Structure 1
Amino acid sequence: MKRPLQPSVPTAGPLFAVAAVTLIAATYGLARLGYGLFLPAFSASFELTPAVGGLLSSGASVIYCVSAGLGFAYAPRHPRLMTILAGSTAALGSAGIAAAPSTGFFTAAVLLAGMGAGFASPALVELVQRNTKPFHAAKRQSVVNSGTGFGVVAAGLLALLLGPAWRLAWVLIAVIAVAGMIGVLLGDASRNRGNAGLQNDAEGANGNDDAGQRQRGGSQQRGLGLAALKWPLAAAFIYGIGCAAVWVYGRTLLEDQGGMPVALSAGAWIALGVGGAAAVLTAPWLARHSIRLTWPVTVLATAAATAGMALAPGSTGISFAAAALFGLAYTAATSVLIIWATATASSSAAGTSALFISLILGQAAGAALTGALIEASGFGLTFAVAAAACGISAAGAIARTQNQHTSEDGGLRVARSDAAS
């Protein structure tokens, strides 16, 4: 009897999905983005001038790119190892922050904690692919990616509730990172099969001759897949420039221009996190529609939130609504990047790493440009320029995908070999 034409895919249970969301929440929303929320408390305990705090934030972005680069190289074959590195670096770094006796020790711990996010995304993209039926993969990728919003909410609540007891907060962050990592490893239904079993299924699906052809041309296919990411890379970089204004200077805008007290501006960031968490509700829509629709919609929503926050920074209602919209749009847009990488690159994990590195590099460049423009022209014009950058990213994506077909799951159609047809 012939083997089935579709390879068997192990399906992970609810533990895996919950743990994956938890790990993203811990590595992104807490260990990485939590730094900014706790910066006032950190500055009171260590010798952190605004310049030093900014340099440390930039250094964390560079370290993120290093770990994401390692994920780019190793996650396609060793996603469980990358998962261990994600959880352990985030946990050890967070524990180091909690125990830091000096500024130097604290700086090293912050950089270590920030590495976890770079490892986490490519590792979980690969594990979701291995543990999910193909027609559900895009939806589950978006659900897992929404963990960033849950983490931002948790970080805001910890900052408000614990206040000066920030060391305890970072102990809890370390515990959450370990729990998420262990849950993912235990919930991984493909762990007993390994790469060899998955490769055998793929070979059985297309025949031994096709398998040999793929092995001989594997590196060439991978190169072509990554080359196809040049336009998504550009879109991600420009989007990073545009969304940096809110991420880096949003709270400063609300406090300096809007006169919000610190507690209220922290509340706005909780609203941002709630919006990010609510992005889980967009997962079915993102999976059903094409990237030439979902990318412009999410990016233009980010632009609207950026402009809205600058228009009325003194209005609590408008500011909270704009923050929530920004969190929703940003998280959904990063989910689109994952779907885009999955549909375009020969390796979902490697493609995701490349797009997220481009996004973070764009944010780093955008932070510097935004800061200079604020000093020269003020917040209003600067946030308008940031919103316009998001618009450019959306327009460019529409132009490049206009003539491309869409696949059944709503992503861009991937070129297939003749042997697979």
Structure 2
Amino acid sequence: MKRSLHAAPSTATPLFTVTAVALIAATYGLARFGYGLFLPSFSESFALTPMIAGLLSSGASVTYCISAAFGFRYAPRHPRFTTILAGSTATLGSGGIAAAQGTSSFSIGVLLAGMGAGFASPALVELVQRNVAPAKQNRLQSVVNSGTGFGVVAAGALALQLGASWRAAWILIAVITFTAMVAVLRADISRTEALSGVPRREDVSAHTGGSSIRGLRWPMAAAFVFGVGSAAPWVYGRSLLEDVGGMTTETSATVWMALGAGSAGAVLLAPWLARHSVKITWYVTVSATSAATVAFALAPTLPALSLATAGLFGLAYTAASSVLIIWTSFTAANSAAGTSILFTCLVLGQALGSTVTGALVESTDLIFAFVTAGVLCLFSAFGATTQRTAPAVQQGDAAPSKIESGQYRPQKYR
């Protein structure tokens, strides 16, 4: 990987960290995952059967993959423009949802809103590298990654405060997203050059070589199957709690907030993930996600248990996605490109999972669909059968001595 050094007089202020977390929270937790939270209200206003709802969620996952592919290709050279794309698509999509008068216009809004998250991750990865000294980058990447959980908590709070006024909630989501985008651009002190001493990528391939792809075959399969199995709670979680469990809107929104809190708390597992092998961490996190999905279906009438289960799901799911990031450093010559491949497989799996779950809901019931999803999720644990004993060296980096001395730290990408 080609690198160069650029000089700048100072490092980013804490404001940059806050705004970066806010943009991830807005594009992921609100604009993207907010669809599942507000699905019961959407279904009352539009002609959304479970099958159509699943197909629409799948479509949003596909648009996410398209924007993520663009972002990983162009964000290294144009992170500010990619940030604008992230905020603009999520803002316009959220506004479109709020203003929709029919199923067609509503669907366009959902698909557009889902693109924002795909642009946001690679853009902020590059901006963190340009604004923060190397010694602080890994920690800040983890903090920014936790933004999804905070966004889910905020979405639950909006549902509690605004109730059935979902249009007002999505207008507010659009405002929050646009504000976060502007704030990131203003807080970015790098502008046209990186900080002195901060490595900057100037030429990043959007893909790995053939050998790297072959090395990623098992992780790719595991990520895809995990995505299929983990889609159910994100899309149909509140529907299960309200339709089967008989929970009120306020109670189910509180459970959703617990899911977000668990997701945000996954940052505390970073030391444990770093100390253990991928095989162990993948088994544990995937098994916990599977167990939480099944438990979610079996106890929707017990609010306390649902709160605990939702928190466990958020914690385990987010930790598992972090394991995918670590996995690439053991299998891919280019960890950034490898991460983009695994996350694309994860989201494509969620796209299929949303459709399959919707079909199962219509042909059977929500409980059977969730149990099936949990079993599928557990199957992905078998993907951790091959891994290297040392991280792969970044292309073009003189890293072998660092690996041998124990000083090597793989760059984290969302």
TM-score (norm 2): 0.82
Higher helix share: 1
Please say if 1:14 is aligned against 2:14: yes
Answer yes or no: is the 8 Å Cα contact 2:227–2:353 preserved in 1.
yes
Aligned-partner Cα distance in 2 for 1:224–1:11: 38
Change (3 A) 1:259 1:420: closer
Match of 2:320 among 312, 315, 333: 333
Is 74-83 or 333-342 further displaced after alignment? 333-342
Distance in 1 of aligned mates of 2:72 and 2:243: 40
Q: Which runs of 5+ in 2 are unaligned?
A: 401-414
CA deviations on 1:164-209 (whole Å, 9 max, x unpaired) are 332222222122212222233233344331699977x789xxxxxx
Residue matched to 2:27: 27
* Residue 363 (str. 1) matches residue 347 (str. 2): no
Read off the aligned partner of 2:297 and give its amino acid letter. Answer: A
- Summarize the alignment of residues 85-164 of structure 1 with structure 2, pairs less than 5 Å apart: 85-134=85-134, 136-164=136-164
2:36–2:234 contact (8 Å) kept in structure 1 = no
Instruction: Say how many residue pairs are matched.
Output: 396
Q: Secondary structure at the match of 1:168?
A: helix
Identity %: 61
Shifted more, 284-293 versus 105-114: the winner is: 284-293
1:240 is aligned to 227
Of residues 402, 405, 418, the one that matches 2:389 is: 405
Amino acid at match of 2:112: L
Map of 1:370-389 to 2, 5 A cutoff?
370-374=357-361, 378-379=365-366, 382-389=369-376
* Residue segments in structure 1 that go unaligned for 5+ positions in a row: 204-214, 407-411
* Counterpart position of 2:256: 269
Partner of 2:41: 41
Q: CA deviation at 1:374?
A: 4.8
Q: What residue in structure 2 maps to residue 251 of structure 1?
A: 238
CA distance in structure 2 between the aligned counterparts of 1:14 and 1:292, rounded to whole angstroms: 36
**CA distance 1:257–1:413, shift in 2 (3 Å):** same
- Displacement of 1:50 in angstroms is 4.4
3-state DSSP of counterpart to 1:77: coil
CA RMSD of aligned residues (A): 3.4
Using the alignment, how far apart are the partners of 1:124 and 1:280 within structure 2? 17
Residue 281 of structure 1 is matched in structure 2 by 268
8 A contact 2:95–2:171 mirrored in 1: yes
- 8 Å CA contact 1:71–1:350 kept in 2: the answer is no
| Per-residue deviation, 1:322 | 0.4
What amino acid is the match of 2:16? F
Q: Which moved more, 1:347-356 or 1:311-320?
A: 347-356
Moved more, 44-53 or 307-316: 44-53
CA contact (8 A) 1:75 1:349 kept: no
1:378 offset after TM fit, Å? 5.0
Q: CA deviation at 1:340?
A: 3.4
Other structure's SS at 1:260 match: coil
> Residues 88, 348 of structure 1: CA spacing in aligned structure 2 closer, same or farther, 3 A cutoff?
farther
Q: How far does the alpha carbon of each residue in 1:91-111 deviate from its partner, in whole angstroms, 9 at most, with x for none?
A: 122122233344433332222
Task: State the match for 2:408 in structure 1.
Answer: none
Query: By how many angstroms is 1:119 displaced?
Result: 0.9
Distance in 2 (alpha carbons) for counterparts of 1:15 and 1:350 = 29
Residue type at the aligned position of 1:260: M
Aligned partner of 1:392 in structure 2 is 379
Contact conserved, 1:225 with 1:345, CA < 8 A, in 2? yes
Structure 2 residue 149 is matched with structure 1 residue 165: no
3-state SS of 1:322 partner: helix
Matched-pair contact (CA < 8 Å) for 2:64–2:114: yes
Give me the whole-angstrom Cα distance separating, in 1, the residues matched to 2:250 and 2:284. 32
Cα 1:183–1:222 shift into 2, 3 Å: farther
Matches within 5 A, 1:218-233: 224-233=211-220
Alpha-carbon distance in structure 1 between the residues aligned to 2:118 and 2:101? 26
- Change in 2 beyond 3 A, CA 1:296/1:6: farther
Q: CA shift at 1:115, angstroms?
A: 0.8
Q: Closer, same or farther in 2 for the Cα pair 1:294/1:98, shift >3 Å? A: same
Q: Summarize the Cα distance change of 1:126–1:226 in structure 2 as closer, same or farther, 3 Å threshold.
A: farther
User: What whole-Å deviation, never above 9, does each CA across 1:246-296 have from its counterpart, x for those lacking one?
Assistant: 223333333343332333222211111111122232234434544333333
Separation in 1 of the partners of 2:211 and 2:134?
Answer: 22
Q: Are 2:398 and 1:414 aligned?
A: no
Aligned partner letter, 1:42: F
Taking structure 1 as reference, are residues 168 and 313 closer, same or farther at Cα in structure 2, changes over 3 Å only? closer
Determine if contact 2:7/2:195 at 8 Å carries over to the other structure: no
After TM superposition, the structure 1 stretch with the greater mean CA deviation from structure 2, 241-250 or 341-350, is 341-350
Measure, in 1, the Cα distance between the counterparts of 2:333 and 2:188: 22
Distance in 2 of aligned mates of 1:344 and 1:127: 25
Deviation at 1:120, TM superposition (A): 1.2
Distance 1:95 1:322 in 2: 32
Contact residue 23 and residue 120 of structure 2 kept, 8 A: yes
Measured at CA, do residues 53 and 161 of structure 1 come closer, stay the same or move farther in structure 2, by a change above 3 Å?
A: same
Distance in 1, matches of 2:7 and 2:279, equals 31
